[in-house]
């Protein structure tokens, strides 16, 4: 899946750069099993090649600590705020690079049940802020690669065992 670049106008009529990355995969597993793997932060170091570490309570309003490091790239630690938790369907958080408005990322994980034992996993991130044009190449190269690696690893992990 690709990425999307666009310029949008916010309520104060100033332009804001925006970029969306998206990746999806079908997984032969239940939505419950995929949700369990996705939200079991303690196990991330064993299987997740993109989000190397994550901690915090998975509840709306909570702050997480997330270490992202795509293969072959430098990593970064963010402290995003959880925006939405819909078990077996969606987890959404938003993080900022130092000051909100410079470089913000809203990360969305969606699990769409196709059959009782097959789901579509979609990972998206909407980036906004002044630094988006300067980081666009790195997002297309490194972050997109991280998305691709994570979806394959999630598929392997979820299909390995059942709940």
Residue range(s) defining the domain that contains residue 130: 3-160
Render pLDDT for 53-105 as a digit per residue (tens, 0 to 9): 999 999 999 999 999 998 888 889 999 999 999 999 999 999 988 787 888 99
pTM for this prediction: 0.86
Residue 98, helix vs strand vs coil: coil
- Strands 65-68 and 76-78: what pairing? antiparallel
- Give the count of domains, the chain: 1
User: What does the block give as tokens for 163?
Assistant: 């709940």
Q: What is the CATH number of the domain that holds 136?
A: 3.30.530.20
Render pLDDT for 116-159 as a digit per residue (tens, 0 to 9): 999 999 999 999 988 888 888 888 889 999 999 999 999 999 99
Please give the pLDDT value at position 155. 98
Render pLDDT for 2-57 as a digit per residue (tens, 0 to 9): 555 544 444 444 445 889 999 999 999 999 999 999 999 999 999 999 999 999 99
Task: Tell me how many helices (H) and strands (E) the chain has.
Answer: 4, 9
């Amino acid at each position: 899946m690709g990425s999307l670049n666009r310029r949008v106008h916010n309520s104060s009529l100033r332009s804001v750069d925006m970029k969306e990355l998206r990746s999806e995969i079908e997984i032969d597993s239940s939505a419950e099993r995929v949700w369990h793997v996705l939200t079991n932060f303690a196990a991330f170091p064993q299987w997740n090649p993109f989000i190397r570490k994550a901690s915090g309570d998975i509840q709306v309003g909570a702050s997480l600590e997330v270490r992202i490091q795509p293969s072959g790239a430098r990593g970064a630690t963010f402290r995003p705020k959880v925006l939405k938790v819909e078990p077996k369907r969606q987890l959404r958080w938003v993080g900022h690079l130092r000051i909100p408005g410079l470089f913000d990322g809203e990360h969305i994980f969606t699990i769409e049940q196709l059959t009782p034992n097959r789901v579509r996993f979609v990972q998206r991130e909407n980036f906004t802020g002044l630094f988006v044009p300067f980081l666009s190449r790195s997002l297309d190269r490194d972050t997109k690669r991280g998305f691709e690696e994570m979806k394959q690893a999630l598929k392997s992990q979820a299909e390995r065992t059942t709940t």
